[in-house]
Amino acid sequence: MIVSPPEPHFVGDGFRVHNFIPSVYRMEMKRMDPFILLDYNSKFYFPPSNYPKGVGVHPHRGFETVTIAYQGSVAHHDSHGGGGVIHKGDVQWMTAAKGVLHKEYHEKEFSKKGGDFQMVQLWVNLPAKYKMSKPKYQALSHEDFEKFLLDNKRGEVEVIAGEYRNAKGIASTFSPIHLYNIRLKKDSSLELSFPANFNTGLLIIEGKVAVNNESADLDNFVLMKNDGENFELKALEESLVLVLSGEPIGEPIAAHGPFVMNTFDEISKAFVDYNNGEFGYLDGSIE
């Protein structure tokens, strides 16, 4: 299934996103498990601003947020002490688990200069046994990612999580996940293979590709059926493609706002804990 980007909306005042998961028909949380949200800030120009745009302090429990920077820079801070700035090519992987407060804004220098901004944010579900574990934060630098290079400089597979052939991702995950950035020269191709039961999708970040001979344009999302393991990706133009594939956790999903648990009693408990200050404290100022 090839999906055009839904109408965009703003999250806070700094993220203009197309929500593919779970808003698009047939891309509900259960269908895309363990990927329970995909917000895509397609390339968008923000003019210079002395006041960084973004999202103020808000809570999360029961899952992980993964932010991938393609253009622009984002500053992040959370109540567990995690945070920093990610620039083009970097990834921040925050495990909210039992609960954090966090905020994210355009990095100050980027905000002052303005420019093209392009990001992906994924929410990755946690198995029940890890939902109330200790929060953590992984700052993943682009220069540290392992890459599989195609012959004759036709392209590369940059592995964020999981593995591709002899290249392994540096992100630690709580369930089996593969997350790649694939760069291909025009007319180059490669074969990808994932277990048939894994939920697999591709987001076209740059260019235009064919997936098993079906054309997918810029900003399209390609959802693979769970009826085979191998497929071919071919670049019809010079292209950059985000590939995500994960083994379904297969547990009940109860979601409300910033909390994703297994039961709605646990969601109610999350609100109580949040209101009682058990998620910690985070200053609302822009740092």
3-class SS at 45? Answer: strand
Element (H, E) at 230: strand 230-235
Element (H, E) at 60: strand 54-60
Residue 282 has pLDDT above 90, yes or no: no
Q: d(Cα 83, Cα 101) in Å, to the nearest integer?
A: 11
Residue 221, pLDDT score = 98
Number of H helices, E strands in the chain: 3, 26
What does the pLDDT look like over 17-49, one tens digit per residue? 999 999 998 899 999 999 999 999 999 999 999
Element (H, E) at 113: helix 108-113
In the structure, what pLDDT confidence band is assigned to residue 142 with cuts at 50, 70 and 90?
Answer: very high
Which one, of 57, 94, 66, 121, lies nearest residue 287 by Cα?
57
Q: Which residues pair with 103 in a beta bridge?
A: 77
Residue 286 has pLDDT above 90, yes or no: no
What's the number of CA atoms in the CB half-sphere (13 Å) around residue 161?
Answer: 22
Common-topology check for domains 8-143 and 145-249:
yes
Q: What is the pLDDT averaged over residues 58-79? A: 96
Residue 287, pLDDT score = 57
Dihedral angle computed from the Cα positions of residues 179, 63, 143 and 73, in that order, rounded to the nearest 10 degrees: 110
Residue 148, pLDDT score = 96
| Cα dist from 113 to 50, 51, 110, whole Å | 9, 11, 5
Which homologous superfamily does the CATH classification assign to the domain defined by 145-249? Jelly Rolls (2.60.120.10)
Residue 127: cis peptide before it, omega within 30 degrees of 0: no
What string of DSSP letters covers 180-204? EEEEE-TT-EEEEE--TTSEEEEEE
In the structure, what pLDDT confidence band is assigned to residue 255 with cuts at 50, 70 and 90?
Answer: very high
Over pLDDT 70: what percentage of the chain? 99
Q: Which residues pair with 46 in a beta bridge?
A: 115
Tell me which DSSP letter residue 53 carries. -
> What number does CATH give the domain 8-143?
2.60.120.10
Which one, of 178, 205, 246, 244, lies nearest residue 18 by Cα?
205
Q: Compute and round to an integer the Cα radius of gyration of the chain.
A: 18
Domain definitions of the chain by residue range? 8-143, 145-249
What does the pLDDT look like over 180-208, one tens digit per residue? 999 999 999 999 999 999 999 999 999 99
In the structure, what pLDDT confidence band is assigned to residue 228 with cuts at 50, 70 and 90?
Answer: confident
3-class SS at 125? Answer: strand
265, 237 contact by CB (below 8 A): no
Residue 111, pLDDT score = 96
